[in-house]
Amino acid sequence: MCLGLATCSSWYVPPVGNVEPAAQAVVRVRLSKSVTVFLVGNIEPTMEWYKRLGFEPEYYPPGFAILRRDDIEIFLQQQPGYVSPDDPGRRERHAWNVYIMTDNVKALYDEYSGLPGLKISRQLSPQDYGMIEFDVMDLNGHRLVFAQPMRAK
């Protein structure tokens, strides 16, 4: 920890046993994964909603769940009575909460389009940045984007 000293650097390698400081190698730690965490007001209906999308929920009372589908995990944390704040700027931009890559976005779009009551908030469409995507809004107002790189022409 730096404690505001002028000689602090942005990284620190703690001394190891009787090894000379010059002999210690600096190893960059590899980050392996990031998991989206959604705050929700009522976890049970949220788990049921995601089951419709093919996610398997694992509930850890009180108020935590892990949703899994293939290699994707979404964590849910419950705060009773929580309601996502209305943010007009975020709504106007159609801001994303999670961006999920798939190997067949058209098939997934067809699967989700056939689910009664599921709101596709942006239809399947190609993007200027080389992706084809569609959006789904969950019951808590979180926007999930499902995407796949477009094939080269």
Per residue in 103-145, pLDDT (tens digit) is 999 999 999 999 998 989 999 999 999 999 999 999 998 999 9
**Quick check: helix, strand or coil at residue 47?**
helix
Q: What is the pTM assigned to this prediction? A: 0.76
CATH number of this structure's domain 36-149, picked from the four choices 3.10.129.10, 1.10.1660.10, 3.40.50.1010, 3.10.180.10: 3.10.180.10
Q: Per-domain residue ranges for the chain?
A: 36-149
Residue at token pair 């801001």: 95
Res 8: pLDDT? 47
Q: Is 108 exposed, middle or buried (0-12, 13-18, 19+ CB in 10 A)?
A: buried
Mean pLDDT of the chain: 85
Q: What is the pLDDT of residues 4-52, one digit of tens each?
A: 444 444 455 555 566 565 556 788 999 888 999 999 999 999 999 999 9
pLDDT-based confidence at 70, cuts 50/70/90? very high
